[in-house]
Structure 1
């Protein structure tokens, strides 16, 4: 594994990007838009901050600070953030403001954290108590959304509220376990509609039809990050969430391809058009390796299997999708986007054909960010 090549790839991504037009936001580029405040960029900045945390190389911190400082005013207002959209994805970028506030002491970052928490505090909920995914997806819980919102909620609550809301956070995970997990194989369906009225859902269960790799990955990271930010490590609720996290890793190991990667639809490897996908595989490589490093997986039975699977996953991505063409490195095999609905977009129906119809792209942050996170853990565990 030539780490110098990957280090140069990361360097090039930063060098070629500005705060308005980052080269990694393929979705915005295709739409002809400048970047704003969204979870996609949040993923990339988080990866750079984790590189800084373990390497102490100032260039990563400098770029992350430049990028966030650009769109946050002195009063903490965030350019592009709209609370009234009730978009839980909008919370994700706020995770980066905790380390930036701690490292730079810029009060604007603390004020922005407070503004994001105002959305968390008022976010509409399903009757079960879970946050809506967005205003345009009322009463819906998506696995993606747990990652976007709950680790931020736990870190903010532990940092500034004395952990008084931790049981609310745990209960949202436990509801998902009860409502969205298939006990037959340990995997979780992508979406749940509490009202059971969405065109894509089963009218008895409220569930969509399939598992989607990246959503399973986001859910895995949601549990891992929440466990690491929780102020009550070792409590009954913490141990329950830890058991959920370990159980999902075990379920995913059962469907890991011999290449080390996972399929876009991980339970249907033989489906026509199914493919080994980069972003979700990167997320699970990260989950497995960081889960070991932070002690969440280290005392599980046969913990060595998680290390082997995580290394194999990362190396599998590099072998299949990390390519140099005309002297330029790129990362391929990234599903650009996938979701369900809304009502006026019935193409997004949750079918096998739908998930396999979305564009596969190179160098998008939804793949590159998790890949860098996994790379960081890979380097640490290899040392």
Structure 2
């Protein structure tokens, strides 16, 4: 985010337009054109329950403006909004809006460059209050009056019960519940229960520590933290106990925002002495209106593992936990319920975190402990409390379980948000030319080149997976797309980076760093296509040797009884659409270069089995087939997965045209098999193309709750159609659908930032089967939707090359 003026006004205005919140087809036309509308925001609730007080985070860059003022509105109704520093770097970077959505409801907001006269009552608060005007007497601060400050570096004299900081640390609250964090060696997290739904921190502790342990008009302190982490605290896991952040050279608090809808503060722990290290750690705590959740974001200056987050243990409570059979990106929860309130009544405490980050669920003498991974020194999680003493508070264990489950779903199944800015609209052309198509692709590639792509080399860091860079199918996919761009006339730097990145994994003997044949992962084959390109281009023996290692894997790779490659050793007897793309174009090209084509039939046979086993009467393909029909996602009779996942079919469509390009013309029988499949698939793709020009995550369920238009599959389908036309495999009549698809991708997913960066949005981050991924409709909707993921960006770049080539004929 570039630096810009922080002086903004929160604005809310009126727009007169008719909104049909249930008709998907009319959404792009819902907001009437207006000179001061900078962006239109389409929202959809993916849950079958209402989501009230839902906070919509709108990055200013996606809105296409960094200028003040901004406002948010829905028809003639004002929508509460606030400008927020979302990453805590001191710069405003988001506009947030608070909305209520019924189950499965759709909504359209307008963002305007216009001030508002709306006055919002504060529903959140963050504060740190210290005494001024007194004096330190050893470890006590005597005299003085409490004054709120925006920043505080705890003085060396400060410790527990020093009477210097009001209620002993920073506090944060919504209109539901409040919390405080001890700014001393205890680093415990405590709860302020509320007897009325109003902000209360400003009333707490004004007359000393004892007062807030007794019932007041606002409520009271309801948790005994003691030696525990308390309500969702963090520390280091020693294997048998948690070490709190006790030994740090400094502790500093900064109030980041104190607004009506969002408040947050940061604690910077300087030189935390732990695990024989001195680690600087920043913890950011954020709350929003109408929510019990605190979002905790930890960032250390170096990795420190394992971190632990936890809940204090108490007698007369039950421990609650979500099903462990969740996907890595799904939010799991743990909690406690029972008479653990200092008021003697029921209190529920919960933690929510991504399942894939937890390595163990355990306990020590004082805490229920979730042991967490933090490979890059970062960790995000949430905590919450629900007190039975609240007005209409949760009274039962089942009620608290339901709360945890719904909050976990809201975090996992994010609100569908699509932003259409006036700035991004400048990229759209009714009649794209070969030059304009390639220009958008090159600008997008340049954004990726500068921000992430260079880190994918051996020894670098893969930001998408938050781990050291490895020999990955995605790296090979991006480098192939970069190479395609340069060969089509774009900057040679993209092709140079592709060679440098792939070469970084290969030594002179042809060994591939981080590659392991014995795991028999067909995904690992895909990057081998760049090895074959580089060998043809340079003649360097190391590329041929490395490609030979991958070919040897395929020679020994396990197969189903009818001859289809298993997707992975850990996915036995399973054929996935993804794997056809990962392995068969490489196998065909390798065979063409080094085997006189003897493996062409083996490559084509994979398509034959896929067509036989995965086809539906509609002509669509199912994602996967389990020959043994024993996986939880598989039909017990057919072994088929349940749904038509568009990206799975996208991989397959790309594989068809790529292998047809490789097969020589004299391979008539083999080409005829694939030609027929491509012809039939093209008809089906056009049949299920949305009027927007693009395709849905689940191809044939456009009206299902939560289903969304998806960028990677749409890019793959357009690539297959365009390349099919270029190779003479599909008739020119498909050019209409192909161009509708391209224009739809640019309109629905491509965004332009004020600084010139170009992004691809609306990408399903990942989808697979097994290991918590049950293949249900809910599963396919639950995976994160992200921007600039290689699995979407690379196919878009490759599609753009094919379209540019087609338009230049």
TM-score by length of 2: 0.45
- 1:5: Cα distance to partner? 4.4
Query: 2-side partners of 1:200 and 1:168: how far apart?
Result: 28
Q: Secondary structure at the match of 1:265?
A: coil
Cα deviations across residues 210-245 of structure 1 (Å, max 9, x unaligned)?
Answer: 010000010111111111111354512210211101
Instruction: Say if 2:529 is the partner of 1:95.
Output: yes
Instruction: Say if 2:788 is the partner of 1:367.
Output: no
> Residues 476 and 502 of structure 2 are in contact (CA less than 8 Å); yes or no, is this contact kept in structure 1?
no
Counterpart in the other structure of 1:10: 445
Query: 2-side partners of 1:241 and 1:329: how far apart?
Result: 36
Query: 1-side partners of 2:454 and 2:518: how far apart?
Result: 24
Query: 2-side partners of 1:319 and 1:352: how far apart?
Result: 26
Counterpart in the other structure of 1:300: none
* CA 19–76 in structure 1, closer or farther in 2 if over 3 Å, else same: farther
- 1:36: Cα distance to partner? 1.0
Q: Secondary structure at the match of 2:559?
A: coil
- 1:21: Cα distance to partner? 4.1
Counterpart in the other structure of 1:157: 591
Query: 1-side partners of 2:585 and 2:606: how far apart?
Result: 12
- Which of 269, 272, 295 is matched with 2:728 structurally? 295
Question: Over aligned residue pairs, what C-alpha RMSD do you find?
Answer: 1.8
Query: 2-side partners of 1:14 and 1:104: how far apart?
Result: 23
> Residues 85 and 134 of structure 1 are in contact (CA less than 8 Å); yes or no, is this contact kept in structure 2?
yes
Structure with a larger share of its residues in strand: 2
- Which of 176, 191, 195 is matched with 2:628 structurally? 195
Counterpart in the other structure of 1:324: 752
* CA 233–308 in structure 1, closer or farther in 2 if over 3 Å, else same: farther
- Which of 307, 312, 319 is matched with 2:740 structurally? 312
Q: How does 1:329-340 map to 2 (within 5 A)?
A: 329-340=758-769
Q: How does 1:206-355 map to 2 (within 5 A)?
A: 206-231=639-664, 233=666, 235-297=668-730, 303-327=731-755, 328-342=757-771, 345=772, 348-355=773-780
> Residues 189 and 211 of structure 1 are in contact (CA less than 8 Å); yes or no, is this contact kept in structure 2?
yes
Greater Rg by CA? 2
- Which of 488, 501, 512 is matched with 1:54 structurally? 488
Query: 1-side partners of 2:654 and 2:741: how far apart?
Result: 16
Query: 1-side partners of 2:666 and 2:490: how far apart?
Result: 27
Q: Which structure 1 residue ranges, 4+ long, deviate > 6 Å from structure 2?
A: none
Query: 1-side partners of 2:710 and 2:752: how far apart?
Result: 18
Counterpart in the other structure of 1:74: 508
- 1:381: Cα distance to partner? 1.8
Query: 2-side partners of 1:6 and 1:285: how far apart?
Result: 14
- 1:6: Cα distance to partner? 3.7
Aligned length: 370
Counterpart in the other structure of 2:558: 124
> Residues 464 and 789 of structure 2 are in contact (CA less than 8 Å); yes or no, is this contact kept in structure 1?
no
Gapped regions of structure 1 (runs ≥ 5):
298-302
Counterpart in the other structure of 2:272: none
- 1:337: Cα distance to partner? 0.2
Which structure ranks higher in relative contact order (CA pairs < 8 Å, sequence separation ≥ 6)? 1
Q: Secondary structure at the match of 2:782?
A: coil
> Residues 101 and 109 of structure 1 are in contact (CA less than 8 Å); yes or no, is this contact kept in structure 2?
yes
Q: How does 1:177-188 map to 2 (within 5 A)?
A: 177-182=611-616, 184-188=617-621
> Residues 473 and 582 of structure 2 are in contact (CA less than 8 Å); yes or no, is this contact kept in structure 1?
yes
> Residues 78 and 112 of structure 1 are in contact (CA less than 8 Å); yes or no, is this contact kept in structure 2?
yes
Query: 2-side partners of 1:83 and 1:16: how far apart?
Result: 31
